[in-house]
Amino acid sequence: METVDHLHPHDLKILTAKAVCFRTVVRLEEKLFTNDQGSESLAIRSRVLSILSDLELFAAAKIKDSEIASFLEDLAKTLEYLLGLYIENPLIRDEFIRTFRDEATSYRSIRQDLESWLQAMLQYARHYFEDSPCSLPNIQLVLGAPELRDPPQTESLSAVTHWTESGRQITLFLRSDSMDFESFFQIPYLLSHEFWCHALSNICEGIEGSVPVPWRGCDPQDAWEEGWMDHVQRLILLASDFPMPPHHLPCLVSPLYRASSQYEHARSDPSNGIHRSYGWSAAVLSASFFRQYFAAFKPDELLLDFSVKLNILKCLPERKGKALAFFKNHLSPPEFGNDDALSSDRNMLERRNRLFRRIAPFIFVRSGTKAASIELIKFLSSLEN
Ligand SMILES: [Zn+2]
C-alpha cells in the first residue's frame, strides 16, 4: 500500500484540525455522560461546531508557515478563550482543552487516519483470498484535491477507484471548508465502499472461459457493485470482528455507526438510482433470509463470503446481476394486486423454501468453516432463470 498526497497543505491542516475537534467533542461527551453531566454535552457540541464554522482561524495566512503541531496548539488557545466566553463551568472547558491536546498529540494527521483504516481493510480481506487462486491487489491511496475535479466538487466527500498497471488506485476527495461532524464520520464508510465494491472487483479468473471481461469498477449502472456490495461492505465495516484501527476509540464507534447508516440509506434511496436501490434491497432481504434459514451457520459470514467471492471473480456484469436476481426474485414480496393475501403469503413461503433447497447443499457441504461459495456462484449463473 502506498499513499500519494495531492491535497494542498493548507487543506490537510484544516482537515486534521477539524478531525481533532470532532473526536474531542465525542470523547468529552462520553466523559460528561459518565459523570452525569450529559445535559452539558449538547451545549458543548453546538458551541464547538459553531466556533469551527465561524472562525477565521483557518485563513490561509495564519497557517501557511506553521507546522501542524504548532497550528493545533494555536487552535487550542483560541478555543480555550472562546469557550471561556460561553461555557460557565471552567472544569468542563479545561477538560475539553486537555482532551483536545491529547488528541492533537495522538491523532497525528488525517492522512495517517485514512492509511490505518485502509490497512485494517486489507488485513480483514486476506481471509477471503486464502481459498482463491489469486491474491490481493496492490492498493494505492490518493488524497485528491477537490478543486481539480471536473465538474467542481460541491459535497464534502467523494471518491473514485481506477484500475492501474500495478493494481488499484482509490482516490478520496475531501473538501476542507465544508467538512462537518457527520461527513467526517462518514469517511471510513466511503473508503470501505471503494475498497470492497470497486478495488476488490474482477480480480480472479472467473467462469467466462476465453471471453474477455472489461473491468467495471465504478459503473453506477452496475447494480451488483453499487447496491448489493454497498450493504455488504457496511456489514463488514461494522462487524464485531473487524479490526478497527487502534486510534478509533470505543466511544467513536457510535458516531461511525450513525453516520454510516445515514449515508447508506441516502445512497440506497430509489431517487438516487434505481439500480443501486435494487441491488441494495436484494442484499438486505438476503441477509435476513440467511439469518433465518442458516442461523446455526454464522449466516452473516456466509453472505459476506458469497458476496466478496462473486465480486472478485472476473464475471460479466450480467452474470453477477443474474445471481443477484436469483435471490431477489425468491425473496421479494409479491407484486401488487396479483394474489389475495392468503395465497400470496403461501406463495412467498414456497419461494423462500425453494431458495433454501437450491443453495443449502453448498452451505451444508463445507470444507472447514467456509461455504462452497464459488461452486454456488457457478451453479446460480448456470440456471435458466
Ligand atoms: Zn461505488
- Cα atoms found within 13 Å of the Cα of residue 82, Cβ hemisphere only: 18
* CA 114 to ligand 1 centroid distance, Å: 18
* CA 160 to ligand 1 centroid distance, Å: 7
pLDDT higher than threshold 90 for residue 380: no
* CA 225 to ligand 1 centroid distance, Å: 7
* CA 219 to ligand 1 centroid distance, Å: 7
Q: Give the DSSP letter string of 48-103.
A: HHHHHHH-GGG-HHHHSSS-HHHHHHHHHHHHHHHHHHH-S-HHHHHHHHHHHHHH
pLDDT higher than threshold 60 for residue 198: yes
- Domain spans of the chain? 2-108, 187-382
* CA 221 to ligand 1 centroid distance, Å: 10
pLDDT higher than threshold 50 for residue 103: yes
* CA 142 to ligand 1 centroid distance, Å: 16
Q: What is the pLDDT of residue 108?
A: 82
Type of residue at 222: D
Residues 8-47 have pLDDT tens digits of 888 888 899 899 999 999 999 888 877 777 677 777 788 7
* CA 233 to ligand 1 centroid distance, Å: 11
Taking only Cα atoms into account, the Rg of the chain, rounded to an integer number of angstroms, comes to 24
* CA 100 to ligand 1 centroid distance, Å: 34
Q: What is the mean pLDDT of the chain?
A: 85
Q: What pTM was estimated for this model as a whole?
A: 0.90
Higher-scoring residue by pLDDT: 129, 64: 129
Specify the pairing of strand 167-174 against strand 2-5. Answer: unpaired
Residues 268-288 have pLDDT tens digits of 999 988 888 988 999 999 999
Q: How many angstroms separate the Cα of 340 from the Cα of each of 329, 346, 351? A: 19, 10, 16
pLDDT higher than threshold 60 for residue 367: no
* CA 222 to ligand 1 centroid distance, Å: 9
- Tell me the three state secondary structure of residue 169: strand
* CA 145 to ligand 1 centroid distance, Å: 19
Mean pLDDT of 161-190: 93
pLDDT higher than threshold 60 for residue 368: no
Q: How confident is the model at residue 54 (pLDDT cuts 50, 70, 90)?
A: low
Nearest alpha-carbon partner for 283 in 220, 240, 325, 335: 325
* CA 226 to ligand 1 centroid distance, Å: 5
- Tell me the three state secondary structure of residue 240: coil
